[in-house]
Amino acid sequence: MAERTGSPDTGASTLPSAEEAIRWVGMRVDGLENRSLGRAAGVYADSADGTSCWVAIRRGPFSGCTAIPFEHVAEGFHRLWAAYERGWVHEGPRVRPDAPLTAELERELCLHCGNREGTGRLAELEGRSLGETTSVPLD
């Protein structure tokens, strides 16, 4: 399993590689109160540098997908976990796990996740045009 592990000398956690994260597709994603958020439907990487940035979650057979930040997902016991409420995730902007994300859609996702301007992924998107493809699905 690709669990986040602490570095022996710093205690800092490390994120799984893109190759490890691809194995997440199809795994159940649980949230707060052990309620199911859905199933991992895909992983997105930044179109410029290839770093993983989003995990698409299929909310149900007729509900479509949304995405949450890659670094907010942890693997353990053959499941994924993210500290989000089910209702909040289901209100998120819709994505297609097989289609790239534009800067505009990523901004919507970031704002839904509570990111502030100039921080995190929003800072990485600064200077990129709204219609530009900024994240692509990993295969």
37 neighbors 29 (Cβ within 8 angstroms): yes
Query: What 8-state DSSP symbol labels residue 22?
Result: H
Query: What is the phi/psi pair of residue 32, to 5°?
Result: -60, 150
Entry pTM: 0.87
Tell me which of 14 and 80 has the higher pLDDT.
80
The predicted structure's pLDDT at residue 63 = 85
**DSSP strand E in the chain: where?**
28-30, 36-46, 52-60, 64-69, 74-76, 79-81, 101-102, 133-137
Mean pLDDT, the chain, whole residue set: 89
77 pLDDT band (50/70/90 cuts)? confident
Question: Which of 54-58, 61-65, 109-113 has the least mean pLDDT?
Answer: 61-65
How confident is the model over 118-131, as pLDDT tens digits? 999 999 999 999 99
67 neighbors 52 (Cβ within 8 angstroms): no
pLDDT at 139 over 90: no
Give CATH superfamily name and number for 18-137.
Answer: Photosynthetic Reaction Center, subunit H, domain 2 (3.90.50.10)
The predicted structure's pLDDT at residue 12 = 56
How confident is the model over 36-45, as pLDDT tens digits? 999 999 999 9
